[in-house]
A = this chain, B = another copy of it.
Amino acid sequence: MSDSKYQQLVAHLSEAHHLERAVAILQWDQQVKMPTGGAPQRAAQLAVLSRIAHEAFAQDKTARLLEDAEREIDGMDYDSDEASMVRVAKEDYRLASKLPAEFVAELTRATSLGRGAWIEARATNTFRTFEPQLQHIIDLTLQRAEYLGYNEHPYDALIDEYERGITTAQVAEIFGAHKPALVGLIAAVQENSDAVDDSLVHQQFDIEKQKQFALDVIKAYGFDFERGRQDVSVHPFCTHFSRGDVRITTRFHDDFLNPALFGMMHEAGHGMYEQGSPERFEGTPLSGGTSLGVHESQSRLWENVVGRSKGFWIWALPKLQAYFPDELGSADVDSFYKAINKVGKSFIRVESDESTYNLHIMLRFELETDMVSGKVKVRDLPEEWNDRFESFFGITPPTDTLGVLQDIHWSMGLVGYFATYALGNLLSVQYYNKAVQQHPGIPDEITSGKFDTLRNWMQDNIYQHGRKFTSDELTRRVTGESIQSRDYMQYLQTKFGDIYGL
């Protein structure tokens, strides 16, 4: 149907999409390759390009083309590419067009200043120097929620940007069911904390060998280096410029094996999702992953459910020992498996283990919703953080840097984002369980380094849909129910019960 309204729409959307990917290329380069001297002009280049990419999408012409195309494809199946394209682009447009340009510019200025103030406050351990900037960012965030609109709670508008369709009440319900069991498990583990010694992973490890081994692993997983690359950066991340160009980054420690190894698996999980996006969606709003939560399910699946499983290390340990015969030559699978899974009470979210991770998220979720509803004031954040941390973990952060200042998110205006990390953990096990239910041989295959049954299942059930469905639509299709914490909690109890002899 040449020159149809629908085709005109897709061509128009592609232009904006290409410009957004160009922004991503400039940002990747900024973090991975740019010399320090390039910073000021790069900021200016990004400011112009981001604005132009936004304007290319959030213009009236998009609304007109959407209306015309919607009329033209009226009656088409909900699952069809055409109906999905219009539906998803319409929702994207609804959000993008609600924020006035002056407001976006003001938010950009505020978070630009905020990021600098956060870096300084964190370095000097003084929340007060960050407080005025953060107050301004939170004020703007409330304004943002008003612009975006919501039914019940202003926080609904914020979380919806990262996990479309989910509400504050739903997240609170999921977390409410999850939290008591989690707290109970952690308490039980703490009583047996001597059962696990992790000195094996705290040795000197040559970085080049770490890298080679981790690359071996993610190649075995199925990350395609003809359509991707891996580099070093200060903060590990995954980005994509197309399904044919997906990039992951890694941070190496020469005295701790876990960060680079599990970090590489994590980013490869994100990466394989992007590489699995259908070719026919390329350059359109339907390409890529559907939500932050589902994306995180893929990274956590390959990092934890697979990468931190005993079965995986039956296959992988001999290979790792070949790289590090002196350091790990005498380790057995059981000790190594326990070492990489040691539970610790960390003040820092990103350093926490699987069992405590979601508790870190719940703390932030509760604080964020209370800030947005006005129950918690920005100036009281350090105290609130520490009090709640004490009640969650039984320990109190000795400094703000180890407490309320640890995450960059708020300084960037990212409120509502944290929850998706925990949702991803829950989904990773829900999806894995479904895959194993349909292919009971998967756990055995993992012990011999075969990952294609699992990855192909993700391709057929998750990747192939791109952004067609919301997280909840997808999860119900794939597992027959919405997101729940039951599977994940059971997974944790079995795993850490075994490791800690509970």
Q: Which residues of A are at the interface with B, using a C-beta cutoff of 8 A?
A: 14-15, 18-19, 21-22, 25-26, 29, 33-42, 44-45, 47-49, 52, 224-229, 241-245, 282-283
- Tell whether, in the assembled complex, residue B18 and residue A244 are in contact, meaning their CB atoms are under 8 Å apart: no
Contact A37:B245 (CB < 8 A) given known A48-B15, A49-B22: yes
Contact of A22 among B45, B241, B244 (CB under 8 A): B45
B residues less than 8 Å from A225 (CB atoms)? 35
Q: Give the complex CA separation of A367 and B342 in angstroms.
A: 74
Contact of A42 among B19, B37, B227, B241 (CB under 8 A): B241
- Tell whether, in the assembled complex, residue A227 and residue B21 are in contact, meaning their CB atoms are under 8 Å apart: no
- Tell whether, in the assembled complex, residue A229 and residue B35 are in contact, meaning their CB atoms are under 8 Å apart: yes
What are some 10 contacts across the A-B interface (CB < 8 A)?
A18-B41, A18-B47, A22-B48, A33-B33, A35-B245, A39-B244, A41-B243, A42-B241, A44-B283, A52-B52
Q: Give the complex CA separation of A37 and B224 in angstroms.
A: 10
Q: A22-B26, A25-B26, A35-B225 are in contact. List 20 more A-B contacts (CB 8 A).
A: A18-B48, A18-B49, A19-B45, A21-B45, A22-B48, A22-B49, A25-B29, A25-B45, A35-B229, A35-B244, A36-B226, A37-B224, A37-B242, A37-B244, A38-B244, A41-B242, A41-B244, A42-B241, A42-B242, A52-B52
Measured CB to CB, the nearest residue on chain B to A245 is B38
Measured CB to CB, the nearest residue on chain B to A49 is B22
Measured CB to CB, the nearest residue on chain B to A287 is B41
B residues less than 8 Å from A226 (CB atoms)? 35-37
Q: Give the complex CA separation of A242 and B38 in angstroms.
A: 7
B residues less than 8 Å from A37 (CB atoms)? 224, 226-228, 242-245
- Tell whether, in the assembled complex, residue B19 and residue A48 are in contact, meaning their CB atoms are under 8 Å apart: yes
Q: Which one of A19, A40, A41 has the highest number of Cβ atoms from chain B below 10 Å of its Cβ?
A: A41
Q: Give the complex CA separation of A225 and B49 in angstroms.
A: 26
| Distance between A8 CB and nearest chain B CB, rounded to angstroms | 16
B residues less than 8 Å from A26 (CB atoms)? 22, 25
| Distance between A25 CB and nearest chain B CB, rounded to angstroms | 6
Measured CB to CB, the nearest residue on chain B to A52 is B52
B residues less than 8 Å from A45 (CB atoms)? 18-19, 21-22, 25, 241
Q: Give the complex CA separation of A256 and B479 in angstroms.
A: 61
- Tell whether, in the assembled complex, residue B241 and residue A14 are in contact, meaning their CB atoms are under 8 Å apart: no
Q: Give the complex CA separation of A50 and B115 in angstroms.
A: 31
- Tell whether, in the assembled complex, residue A41 and residue B228 are in contact, meaning their CB atoms are under 8 Å apart: no
B residues less than 8 Å from A241 (CB atoms)? 38, 41-42, 45
- Tell whether, in the assembled complex, residue A52 and residue B19 are in contact, meaning their CB atoms are under 8 Å apart: yes
B residues less than 8 Å from A44 (CB atoms)? 14, 18, 283
B residues less than 8 Å from A49 (CB atoms)? 18-19, 22
B residues less than 8 Å from A29 (CB atoms)? 25, 29
| Distance between A47 CB and nearest chain B CB, rounded to angstroms | 8
| Distance between A231 CB and nearest chain B CB, rounded to angstroms | 8
- Tell whether, in the assembled complex, residue B283 and residue A38 are in contact, meaning their CB atoms are under 8 Å apart: no
Q: Give the complex CA separation of A183 and B48 in angstroms.
A: 52
**In the complex, the 8 A-B pairs of residues with the closest C-beta atoms, listed nearest first:** A38-B245, A37-B244, A37-B227, A41-B242, A18-B48, A18-B45, A38-B244, A37-B226
B residues less than 8 Å from A52 (CB atoms)? 19, 52
Contact A229:B33 (CB < 8 A) given known A26-B25, A49-B19, A52-B19: yes
| Distance between A17 CB and nearest chain B CB, rounded to angstroms | 9
B residues less than 8 Å from A224 (CB atoms)? 37
Q: Give the complex CA separation of A229 and B243 in angstroms.
A: 28
Q: Give the complex CA separation of A34 and B241 in angstroms.
A: 10
B residues less than 8 Å from A229 (CB atoms)? 33, 35
B residues less than 8 Å from A22 (CB atoms)? 22, 26, 45, 48-49
B residues less than 8 Å from A33 (CB atoms)? 33, 229
| Distance between A428 CB and nearest chain B CB, rounded to angstroms | 26
- Tell whether, in the assembled complex, residue B283 and residue A41 are in contact, meaning their CB atoms are under 8 Å apart: yes
B residues less than 8 Å from A227 (CB atoms)? 35-38
B residues less than 8 Å from A15 (CB atoms)? 48
B residues less than 8 Å from A18 (CB atoms)? 41, 44-45, 47-49
- Tell whether, in the assembled complex, residue A35 and residue B228 are in contact, meaning their CB atoms are under 8 Å apart: yes
- Tell whether, in the assembled complex, residue B41 and residue A282 are in contact, meaning their CB atoms are under 8 Å apart: yes
Q: Give the complex CA separation of A229 and B33 in angstroms.
A: 8
Q: Give the complex CA separation of A350 and B226 in angstroms.
A: 31
Measured CB to CB, the nearest residue on chain B to A227 is B37
| Distance between A260 CB and nearest chain B CB, rounded to angstroms | 20
Q: Give the complex CA separation of A244 and B45 in angstroms.
A: 13
Measured CB to CB, the nearest residue on chain B to A39 is B244
Measured CB to CB, the nearest residue on chain B to A45 is B18
Q: Give the complex CA separation of A133 and B245 in angstroms.
A: 30
